[in-house]
């Protein structure tokens, strides 16, 4: 029974986050989805953050998650990131499908140095 609760807790945590891999210019801060705090980028480029609302759907340049890079308090680059529908949001009713259906794509690298998302 204890293992069951551990599995349930792990599913809850994973259903509340989205992960992507990034390459950003040295010394810059990455802000995603107009959130006031920059995301934490691990040494391997992994970023884990909260999922996004339906407004983040679509493909750049017109759609996707807005981002901005800041260096020394000044914006050096901004644009949109490709998103992916989070299938887990279907199974996490009712709020995940309504409020958090979009996430970062864990299968690509968001290279904000060379402006590629592959």
Write out pLDDT tens, residues 44-72.
Answer: 999 999 888 888 888 887 889 999 999 99
Asked if 17 contacts 88 with a C-beta cutoff of 8 angstroms, the reply is no
Condensed to tens digits (0 to 9), the pLDDT of residues 9-57 reads: 555 544 578 999 999 999 999 999 989 999 999 999 999 998 888 888 8
With the C-alpha atoms ordered 68, 113, 111, 25, is the resulting torsion angle positive or negative? negative
109-111 sheet: strands from edge to edge: 46-49, 18-23, 109-111, 116-117
**What residue segments make up the domains of the chain, in order of their start?**
2-117
CB 63 within 8 A of CB 26: no
What DSSP designation does 38 have?
A: P
Instruction: Name the pTM for this structure.
Output: 0.79
């Amino acid at each position: 029974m204890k293992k069951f609760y551990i599995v349930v807790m792990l599913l809850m945590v994973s259903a509340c986050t989205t992960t992507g891999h990034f390459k950003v210019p040295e010394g810059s801060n990455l802000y995603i989805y107009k959130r006031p705090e920059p995301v934490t980028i691990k040494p391997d480029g992994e970023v884990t953050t909260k999922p996004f609302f339906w407004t983040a759907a679509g493909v750049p340049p017109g759609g996707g998650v807005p981002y901005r890079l800041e260096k020394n308090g000044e914006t050096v680059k901004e644009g949109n990131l490709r998103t992916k529908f989070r299938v887990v949001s279907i199974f996490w009713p009712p709020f995940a499908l309504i409020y958090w259906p979009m996430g970062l794509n864990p299968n690509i690298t968001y290279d904000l140095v060379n402006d590629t998302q592959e």
